[in-house]
Amino acid sequence: MDAIDAALVQFNNGQTVLVEYRQYPIARKIRKRLQSVTATTPMEEITKLDVHLGRLFADAVTRLLHTTGISQEMVVAIGCHGQTVLHKPNAPEPYSLQIGDPNLIACKTGITTVADFRRADIAAGGQGAPLAPAFHKVQFHHPEKDRVVLNIGGIANITILPADADIPVSGFDTGPGNVLMDEWISHHRNLPMDKDGNWAASGKVQHSLLTVLMNDAYFQTSPPKSTGRDYFNLVWLDSCLTQIKSRMNPEDIQATLLTLTARTIVDAILEYAPGVNEILVCGGGVHNKALISEINKNLPGYIIESTEIEGLNPDCIEAITFAWLAKCRIDGKPGNLPAVTGAKKKVVLGAVYKPGN
Ligand SMILES: Nc1ncnc2c1ncn2[C@@H]1O[C@H](COP(=O)(O)OP(=O)(O)O)[C@@H](O)[C@H]1O
Ligand SMILES: [Mg+2]
Protein backbone atom coordinates (compact mmCIF):
# COMPACT_ATOMS: atom_id res chain seq x y z
CA MET A 1 0.00 0.00 0.00
CA ASP A 2 3.02 2.29 0.06
CA ALA A 3 3.28 2.70 -3.70
CA ILE A 4 2.41 1.28 -7.09
CA ASP A 5 5.34 -0.75 -8.37
CA ALA A 6 5.57 -0.68 -12.15
CA ALA A 7 8.18 -2.76 -13.95
CA LEU A 8 8.74 -3.09 -17.69
CA VAL A 9 10.25 -6.50 -18.27
CA GLN A 10 11.56 -8.42 -21.25
CA PHE A 11 11.79 -12.22 -21.19
CA ASN A 12 14.42 -13.51 -23.62
CA ASN A 13 14.67 -17.30 -23.69
CA GLY A 14 14.55 -17.73 -19.96
CA GLN A 15 16.50 -14.56 -19.26
CA THR A 16 14.74 -11.79 -17.38
CA VAL A 17 15.71 -8.26 -18.35
CA LEU A 18 14.37 -5.35 -16.34
CA VAL A 19 13.96 -2.48 -18.80
CA GLU A 20 12.60 0.11 -16.37
CA TYR A 21 11.13 0.27 -12.90
CA ARG A 22 9.30 3.09 -11.15
CA GLN A 23 7.40 3.49 -7.92
CA TYR A 24 4.39 5.79 -7.99
CA PRO A 25 3.35 6.78 -4.47
CA ILE A 26 -0.26 6.22 -3.45
CA ALA A 27 -1.84 9.39 -1.98
CA ARG A 28 -2.26 9.26 1.77
CA LYS A 29 -6.03 9.61 1.57
CA ILE A 30 -6.32 6.56 -0.66
CA ARG A 31 -3.88 4.57 1.45
CA LYS A 32 -5.91 5.31 4.58
CA ARG A 33 -9.11 4.21 2.81
CA LEU A 34 -7.42 0.99 1.67
CA GLN A 35 -6.04 0.33 5.14
CA SER A 36 -9.46 0.67 6.68
CA VAL A 37 -11.14 -1.92 4.44
CA THR A 38 -12.44 -4.83 6.52
CA ALA A 39 -14.89 -7.67 5.91
CA THR A 40 -17.73 -5.31 6.89
CA THR A 41 -16.79 -2.33 4.69
CA PRO A 42 -19.78 -1.34 2.51
CA MET A 43 -19.71 -2.84 -0.97
CA GLU A 44 -19.99 0.66 -2.43
CA GLU A 45 -16.69 1.78 -0.84
CA ILE A 46 -14.86 -1.31 -2.14
CA THR A 47 -16.31 -0.82 -5.61
CA LYS A 48 -15.26 2.85 -5.65
CA LEU A 49 -11.72 1.89 -4.61
CA ASP A 50 -11.71 -0.85 -7.29
CA VAL A 51 -12.41 1.73 -9.99
CA HIS A 52 -10.06 4.35 -8.54
CA LEU A 53 -7.16 1.89 -8.33
CA GLY A 54 -7.87 0.65 -11.87
CA ARG A 55 -7.33 4.21 -13.09
CA LEU A 56 -4.19 4.68 -10.97
CA PHE A 57 -2.71 1.40 -12.26
CA ALA A 58 -3.45 2.41 -15.86
CA ASP A 59 -1.82 5.81 -15.26
CA ALA A 60 1.24 4.10 -13.78
CA VAL A 61 1.67 2.02 -16.96
CA THR A 62 1.18 5.04 -19.19
CA ARG A 63 3.76 7.05 -17.24
CA LEU A 64 6.25 4.17 -17.23
CA LEU A 65 5.96 3.75 -20.99
CA HIS A 66 6.30 7.49 -21.48
CA THR A 67 9.51 7.44 -19.40
CA THR A 68 11.03 4.70 -21.52
CA GLY A 69 9.75 5.93 -24.87
CA ILE A 70 8.38 2.46 -25.60
CA SER A 71 5.01 2.40 -27.32
CA GLN A 72 2.01 0.45 -26.10
CA GLU A 73 2.01 -1.80 -29.22
CA MET A 74 5.34 -3.26 -28.12
CA VAL A 75 3.95 -4.56 -24.84
CA VAL A 76 2.46 -8.06 -24.98
CA ALA A 77 0.60 -7.82 -21.70
CA ILE A 78 0.22 -6.15 -18.35
CA GLY A 79 0.21 -8.41 -15.31
CA CYS A 80 -1.65 -6.63 -12.54
CA HIS A 81 -1.77 -8.22 -9.11
CA GLY A 82 -4.13 -5.57 -7.75
CA GLN A 83 -4.45 -4.62 -4.10
CA THR A 84 -5.49 -7.41 -1.77
CA VAL A 85 -8.35 -6.29 0.44
CA LEU A 86 -9.56 -9.65 1.77
CA HIS A 87 -7.70 -12.94 2.01
CA LYS A 88 -9.23 -15.87 3.91
CA PRO A 89 -7.94 -19.09 2.34
CA ASN A 90 -8.99 -21.22 5.33
CA ALA A 91 -12.59 -20.04 5.60
CA PRO A 92 -15.26 -22.73 5.01
CA GLU A 93 -15.74 -21.05 1.65
CA PRO A 94 -12.20 -19.75 1.01
CA TYR A 95 -11.67 -16.42 -0.75
CA SER A 96 -9.10 -13.85 -1.76
CA LEU A 97 -10.03 -10.51 -3.27
CA GLN A 98 -7.74 -8.15 -5.18
CA ILE A 99 -9.08 -4.87 -6.51
CA GLY A 100 -8.10 -2.46 -9.31
CA ASP A 101 -10.50 -2.96 -12.24
CA PRO A 102 -8.54 -4.66 -15.07
CA ASN A 103 -11.20 -3.61 -17.62
CA LEU A 104 -10.17 -0.01 -17.01
CA ILE A 105 -6.47 -0.85 -17.26
CA ALA A 106 -6.91 -2.63 -20.60
CA CYS A 107 -9.19 0.08 -21.95
CA LYS A 108 -7.08 3.07 -20.88
CA THR A 109 -3.71 1.61 -21.91
CA GLY A 110 -4.81 -0.35 -24.99
CA ILE A 111 -2.81 -3.33 -23.66
CA THR A 112 -4.08 -6.85 -22.88
CA THR A 113 -4.25 -7.11 -19.11
CA VAL A 114 -3.99 -10.23 -16.95
CA ALA A 115 -5.41 -10.01 -13.42
CA ASP A 116 -7.14 -12.10 -10.73
CA PHE A 117 -4.14 -14.40 -10.29
CA ARG A 118 -5.04 -16.02 -7.02
CA ARG A 119 -8.52 -17.40 -7.37
CA ALA A 120 -7.76 -20.23 -9.82
CA ASP A 121 -5.37 -21.66 -7.23
CA ILE A 122 -8.00 -21.30 -4.49
CA ALA A 123 -10.54 -23.00 -6.77
CA ALA A 124 -8.06 -25.90 -7.07
CA GLY A 125 -7.97 -26.21 -3.28
CA GLY A 126 -4.88 -24.06 -2.66
CA GLN A 127 -4.17 -21.03 -0.51
CA GLY A 128 -3.88 -18.76 -3.56
CA ALA A 129 -0.59 -17.68 -2.01
CA PRO A 130 2.30 -17.26 -2.00
CA LEU A 131 2.70 -17.12 -5.78
CA ALA A 132 6.20 -15.66 -5.87
CA PRO A 133 8.04 -18.98 -5.25
CA ALA A 134 7.51 -20.20 -8.85
CA PHE A 135 9.31 -17.12 -10.15
CA HIS A 136 11.95 -17.28 -7.43
CA LYS A 137 12.69 -20.80 -8.67
CA VAL A 138 13.15 -19.66 -12.26
CA GLN A 139 15.28 -16.70 -11.24
CA PHE A 140 17.30 -17.75 -8.20
CA HIS A 141 17.71 -21.54 -8.27
CA HIS A 142 21.38 -22.46 -7.96
CA PRO A 143 22.57 -25.95 -9.04
CA GLU A 144 25.12 -26.25 -6.22
CA LYS A 145 23.75 -24.22 -3.33
CA ASP A 146 20.51 -24.54 -1.37
CA ARG A 147 18.99 -21.11 -0.96
CA VAL A 148 16.16 -19.29 0.76
CA VAL A 149 14.52 -16.27 -0.85
CA LEU A 150 12.99 -14.01 1.78
CA ASN A 151 10.50 -11.40 0.65
CA ILE A 152 9.68 -8.78 3.28
CA GLY A 153 6.64 -6.91 2.00
CA GLY A 154 3.62 -6.05 4.13
CA ILE A 155 3.54 -9.77 4.85
CA ALA A 156 6.80 -11.79 4.78
CA ASN A 157 7.22 -15.01 2.84
CA ILE A 158 10.03 -17.47 2.22
CA THR A 159 10.86 -19.72 -0.73
CA ILE A 160 13.15 -22.68 -0.11
CA LEU A 161 15.15 -23.57 -3.21
CA PRO A 162 17.03 -26.87 -2.91
CA ALA A 163 20.05 -27.17 -5.20
CA ASP A 164 18.77 -30.64 -6.16
CA ALA A 165 16.13 -29.89 -8.77
CA ASP A 166 14.33 -33.16 -7.96
CA ILE A 167 13.38 -31.86 -4.50
CA PRO A 168 10.22 -29.73 -4.76
CA VAL A 169 10.47 -26.05 -3.99
CA SER A 170 8.55 -25.10 -0.87
CA GLY A 171 7.51 -21.81 0.67
CA PHE A 172 4.90 -20.00 2.75
CA ASP A 173 4.01 -16.74 4.47
CA THR A 174 5.90 -16.50 7.75
CA GLY A 175 3.57 -13.77 9.10
CA PRO A 176 3.89 -9.99 9.36
CA GLY A 177 6.61 -8.26 7.34
CA ASN A 178 6.43 -4.47 7.53
CA VAL A 179 2.70 -4.25 8.14
CA LEU A 180 2.59 -3.98 11.94
CA MET A 181 5.54 -1.58 12.18
CA ASP A 182 4.05 0.59 9.41
CA GLU A 183 0.63 0.73 11.02
CA TRP A 184 1.96 1.38 14.52
CA ILE A 185 4.16 4.31 13.49
CA SER A 186 1.40 5.66 11.28
CA HIS A 187 -1.00 5.56 14.24
CA HIS A 188 1.41 7.15 16.74
CA ARG A 189 3.58 9.46 14.71
CA ASN A 190 1.65 9.90 11.49
CA LEU A 191 4.59 8.59 9.45
CA PRO A 192 4.19 6.03 6.65
CA MET A 193 7.16 3.92 7.79
CA ASP A 194 9.83 3.59 10.47
CA LYS A 195 12.79 4.67 8.37
CA ASP A 196 15.71 2.23 8.84
CA GLY A 197 13.90 0.92 11.93
CA ASN A 198 15.29 3.86 13.93
CA TRP A 199 12.20 4.35 16.09
CA ALA A 200 12.12 0.64 16.92
CA ALA A 201 15.84 0.78 17.74
CA SER A 202 15.15 3.58 20.25
CA GLY A 203 12.77 1.35 22.22
CA LYS A 204 13.16 -1.68 24.50
CA VAL A 205 11.69 -5.06 23.60
CA GLN A 206 8.84 -5.97 25.97
CA HIS A 207 9.18 -9.68 26.53
CA SER A 208 5.76 -10.18 28.11
CA LEU A 209 4.15 -8.73 24.99
CA LEU A 210 6.49 -10.60 22.65
CA THR A 211 5.41 -13.88 24.26
CA VAL A 212 1.74 -13.09 23.71
CA LEU A 213 2.34 -12.06 20.09
CA MET A 214 4.43 -15.14 19.31
CA ASN A 215 1.74 -17.37 20.81
CA ASP A 216 -0.60 -16.63 17.92
CA ALA A 217 -1.74 -19.90 16.36
CA TYR A 218 -0.61 -18.76 12.89
CA PHE A 219 3.06 -19.15 13.82
CA GLN A 220 2.53 -22.72 15.02
CA THR A 221 0.48 -23.79 11.99
CA SER A 222 2.31 -25.99 9.49
CA PRO A 223 2.46 -24.98 5.82
CA PRO A 224 0.84 -24.64 3.37
CA LYS A 225 -0.30 -21.38 4.90
CA SER A 226 -0.77 -17.76 3.95
CA THR A 227 -2.02 -14.63 5.63
CA GLY A 228 -2.75 -10.97 5.03
CA ARG A 229 -3.21 -7.47 6.37
CA ASP A 230 -6.80 -8.31 7.13
CA TYR A 231 -5.46 -10.55 9.92
CA PHE A 232 -2.17 -9.00 11.07
CA ASN A 233 -3.14 -5.39 11.77
CA LEU A 234 -3.76 -2.96 14.65
CA VAL A 235 -6.93 -4.80 15.66
CA TRP A 236 -4.87 -7.97 16.11
CA LEU A 237 -2.21 -6.02 18.02
CA ASP A 238 -4.86 -4.44 20.27
CA SER A 239 -6.30 -7.82 21.13
CA CYS A 240 -2.81 -8.89 22.26
CA LEU A 241 -2.16 -5.65 24.17
CA THR A 242 -5.33 -6.11 26.23
CA GLN A 243 -3.78 -9.32 27.62
CA ILE A 244 -0.91 -7.31 29.12
CA LYS A 245 -1.53 -5.38 32.32
CA SER A 246 1.52 -3.08 32.36
CA ARG A 247 1.70 0.19 30.42
CA MET A 248 4.23 0.39 27.63
CA ASN A 249 5.81 3.22 25.65
CA PRO A 250 4.92 3.29 21.96
CA GLU A 251 8.58 2.97 20.93
CA ASP A 252 8.91 -0.12 23.13
CA ILE A 253 5.95 -1.64 21.33
CA GLN A 254 7.60 -0.79 17.99
CA ALA A 255 10.79 -2.51 19.17
CA THR A 256 8.71 -5.55 20.12
CA LEU A 257 6.97 -5.62 16.73
CA LEU A 258 10.33 -5.51 14.97
CA THR A 259 11.58 -8.40 17.10
CA LEU A 260 8.39 -10.36 16.43
CA THR A 261 8.85 -9.88 12.69
CA ALA A 262 12.49 -10.95 12.78
CA ARG A 263 11.95 -13.92 15.12
CA THR A 264 9.05 -15.40 13.17
CA ILE A 265 11.08 -15.16 9.95
CA VAL A 266 14.13 -16.74 11.61
CA ASP A 267 12.08 -19.52 13.27
CA ALA A 268 10.47 -20.40 9.92
CA ILE A 269 13.89 -20.62 8.24
CA LEU A 270 15.42 -22.73 11.02
CA GLU A 271 12.48 -25.13 11.10
CA TYR A 272 11.74 -25.54 7.39
CA ALA A 273 15.11 -24.88 5.78
CA PRO A 274 17.59 -26.46 8.22
CA GLY A 275 21.12 -26.40 6.91
CA VAL A 276 20.42 -23.79 4.24
CA ASN A 277 22.69 -20.87 5.02
CA GLU A 278 22.30 -18.53 2.07
CA ILE A 279 19.41 -16.07 2.12
CA LEU A 280 18.49 -13.65 -0.66
CA VAL A 281 16.29 -10.83 0.59
CA CYS A 282 13.81 -8.74 -1.39
CA GLY A 283 10.81 -6.48 -0.66
CA GLY A 284 10.88 -3.10 1.06
CA GLY A 285 11.90 -4.61 4.41
CA VAL A 286 15.41 -5.15 3.03
CA HIS A 287 15.94 -1.40 3.65
CA ASN A 288 14.99 -1.63 7.32
CA LYS A 289 18.51 -1.76 8.78
CA ALA A 290 17.41 -2.59 12.33
CA LEU A 291 15.21 -5.44 11.08
CA ILE A 292 17.92 -6.98 8.88
CA SER A 293 20.46 -6.69 11.67
CA GLU A 294 18.06 -8.45 14.08
CA ILE A 295 17.63 -11.27 11.54
CA ASN A 296 21.41 -11.43 11.08
CA LYS A 297 21.98 -11.58 14.82
CA ASN A 298 19.68 -14.60 15.08
CA LEU A 299 21.26 -16.42 12.14
CA PRO A 300 24.99 -16.19 12.84
CA GLY A 301 27.22 -17.44 10.04
CA TYR A 302 24.50 -17.11 7.41
CA ILE A 303 25.12 -15.29 4.15
CA ILE A 304 22.29 -12.75 4.00
CA GLU A 305 22.25 -10.58 0.88
CA SER A 306 19.87 -8.42 -1.10
CA THR A 307 18.76 -9.93 -4.45
CA GLU A 308 20.77 -7.04 -5.91
CA ILE A 309 23.82 -9.36 -5.86
CA GLU A 310 21.95 -11.53 -8.38
CA GLY A 311 21.38 -8.43 -10.49
CA LEU A 312 17.74 -7.80 -9.57
CA ASN A 313 16.57 -4.75 -7.64
CA PRO A 314 14.93 -6.08 -4.43
CA ASP A 315 12.13 -3.51 -4.63
CA CYS A 316 10.72 -4.75 -7.90
CA ILE A 317 10.88 -8.56 -7.62
CA GLU A 318 7.14 -8.71 -6.92
CA ALA A 319 6.29 -6.52 -9.89
CA ILE A 320 8.54 -8.66 -12.10
CA THR A 321 6.89 -11.78 -10.68
CA PHE A 322 3.49 -10.64 -11.93
CA ALA A 323 4.89 -9.74 -15.35
CA TRP A 324 6.23 -13.32 -15.45
CA LEU A 325 2.89 -14.76 -14.30
CA ALA A 326 1.14 -12.75 -17.03
CA LYS A 327 3.54 -14.31 -19.53
CA CYS A 328 2.71 -17.77 -18.16
CA ARG A 329 -1.01 -16.99 -18.63
CA ILE A 330 -0.53 -15.74 -22.19
CA ASP A 331 1.57 -18.84 -22.98
CA GLY A 332 -1.10 -21.07 -21.36
CA LYS A 333 1.35 -22.38 -18.76
CA PRO A 334 0.57 -23.08 -15.08
CA GLY A 335 1.83 -20.50 -12.59
CA ASN A 336 1.27 -22.15 -9.20
CA LEU A 337 3.42 -24.63 -7.31
CA PRO A 338 1.05 -27.12 -5.63
CA ALA A 339 3.74 -28.03 -3.05
CA VAL A 340 3.66 -24.37 -1.96
CA THR A 341 0.01 -23.37 -2.15
CA GLY A 342 -1.49 -26.78 -1.35
CA ALA A 343 -3.54 -26.82 -4.58
CA LYS A 344 -4.55 -30.26 -5.86
CA LYS A 345 -2.93 -29.60 -9.22
CA LYS A 346 -1.00 -27.15 -11.34
CA VAL A 347 -3.30 -24.56 -12.88
CA VAL A 348 -3.06 -21.64 -15.28
CA LEU A 349 -3.49 -18.48 -13.21
CA GLY A 350 -5.27 -15.25 -14.08
CA ALA A 351 -7.99 -13.89 -16.32
CA VAL A 352 -7.31 -12.04 -19.57
CA TYR A 353 -8.89 -8.65 -20.33
CA LYS A 354 -8.61 -7.41 -23.91
CA PRO A 355 -8.60 -3.71 -24.75
CA GLY A 356 -11.24 -4.33 -27.43
CA ASN A 357 -9.88 -1.96 -30.05
N1 LIG B 1 14.40 2.74 4.52
C2 LIG B 1 13.43 1.95 5.01
N3 LIG B 1 13.38 1.72 6.34
C4 LIG B 1 12.42 0.95 6.89
N5 LIG B 1 11.45 0.36 6.17
C6 LIG B 1 11.44 0.54 4.85
C7 LIG B 1 12.44 1.34 4.19
N8 LIG B 1 12.16 1.33 2.85
C9 LIG B 1 11.06 0.56 2.70
N10 LIG B 1 10.62 0.08 3.89
C11 LIG B 1 9.44 -0.74 4.16
O12 LIG B 1 9.05 -1.41 2.99
C13 LIG B 1 7.65 -1.23 2.78
C14 LIG B 1 7.33 -1.37 1.33
O15 LIG B 1 7.71 -2.67 0.96
P16 LIG B 1 6.97 -3.44 -0.19
O17 LIG B 1 7.81 -4.61 -0.53
O18 LIG B 1 6.66 -2.47 -1.28
O19 LIG B 1 5.67 -3.90 0.56
P20 LIG B 1 4.17 -4.11 0.06
O21 LIG B 1 4.17 -5.52 -0.46
O22 LIG B 1 3.38 -3.94 1.27
O23 LIG B 1 3.94 -3.06 -0.97
C24 LIG B 1 7.33 0.12 3.41
O25 LIG B 1 5.99 0.22 3.78
C26 LIG B 1 8.27 0.11 4.61
O27 LIG B 1 7.68 -0.55 5.68
MG1 LIG C 1 4.92 -1.79 -2.11
Domain boundaries, the chain: 3-128+316-353, 132-314
The predicted pLDDT at position 313 comes to 94
Laid out side by side, the sheet with 78-79 consists of 78-79, 113-115, 351-353
> To the nearest 5 percent, what fractions of the chain are helix, strand and coil?
45, 20, 35
Q: State the distance from the centre of ligand 2 to the C-alpha of 2, rounded, in angstroms.
A: 5
Q: Give the helix/strand (H/E) hosting 162.
A: none
If 0-12 CB within 10 Å is exposed, 13-18 middle and 19+ buried, where does residue 262 land? buried
Same fold, 3-128+316-353 and 132-314: yes
Please tell me the distance from the alpha carbon of residue 346 to that of residue 348, in angstroms, as a whole number. 7
If 0-12 CB within 10 Å is exposed, 13-18 middle and 19+ buried, where does residue 254 land? buried
Pocket-testing residue among 24, 98, 178, ligand 1, by greatest number of atoms within 8 A of Cβ = 178
Give one word for 119, left, alpha or beta, with left for phi > 0 and alpha for psi -120 to 50. Answer: alpha
Assign domain 3-128+316-353 to its CATH superfamily.
Answer: ATPase, nucleotide binding domain (3.30.420.40)
- Fold classification of 132-314 is Nucleotidyltransferase; domain 5 (3.30.420)
Residue nearest to atom 22 of ligand 1 (CA): 154
All residues at 6 or more sequence positions from 81 whose CB lies less than 8 Å from its CB, including other chains = 98, 115, 117, 318, 322
The predicted pLDDT at position 357 comes to 61
- Cα 292 to Cα 32, 146, 149, 203, 303: the distances in Å are 27, 21, 14, 17, 12
- Cα 224 to Cα 164, 174, 199, 281: the distances in Å are 21, 11, 34, 21
Report yes or no: 328 and 335 within 8 Å, Cβ to Cβ.
Answer: yes
Q: What is the pLDDT along the chain (357 residues), one digit of tens a residue?
A: 889 999 999 999 888 999 999 999 999 899 989 988 988 999 999 999 999 999 999 999 999 999 999 999 999 999 999 999 999 999 999 999 999 999 999 999 999 999 999 999 999 999 999 999 999 999 999 999 999 999 999 999 999 999 999 999 999 999 999 999 999 999 999 998 999 999 999 999 999 999 999 999 999 999 999 999 989 999 999 999 999 988 999 999 999 999 999 999 999 999 999 999 999 999 999 999 999 999 999 999 999 999 999 999 999 999 999 999 999 999 999 999 999 999 999 999 999 999 986
The DSSP result for 116-160, as a single string, is --SHHHHHTTS-----HHHHHHHHH--SS--EEEEEESSEEEEEE
Residue ranges lining ligand 1, Cβ < 6 Å: 1-2, 153-154, 178, 182, 193-197, 283-285, 287-288
Pocket-testing residue among 81, 257, 288, 317, ligand 1, by greatest number of atoms within 8 A of Cβ = 288
Report yes or no: 263 and 298 within 8 Å, Cβ to Cβ.
Answer: yes
Peptide bond into 130 cis (omega under 30): yes
Q: State the distance from the centre of ligand 2 to the C-alpha of 3, rounded, in angstroms.
A: 5
